[in-house]
Amino acid sequence: MSDVPEQMLALNMPVDLIGPHYSVDDAARAARTIGYEVLISPGHRFHRDYITSEILTEKTL
């Protein structure tokens, strides 16, 4: 389930579940749980990209 309009979706399209505009805490509130549960529940089935502070600094310079 999502609020994404169907015309914006495509098969095998990557999506960001948590990002700069939707935090872990936002997702947790929507799921009526805590942020920790949101972070650990996908398990190893999902690809994760972790952004370090060095990468963020390089992109903002």
- Give CA–CA dist 39/44, Å, rounded: 11
Q: Tell me the pLDDT tens digit for each residue of 9-61.
A: 788 777 777 888 889 999 899 889 999 988 887 766 667 777 666 655 555 54
Task: Give the per-residue SS3 of the chain.
Answer: CCCCCHHHCCCCCCCCCCECCECHHHHHHHHCCCHHHHHHCCCCCCCCCCCCHHHHHHHHC
Which has more confidence, 7 or 48? 7
pLDDT confidence bin for 4, thresholds 50/70/90: confident
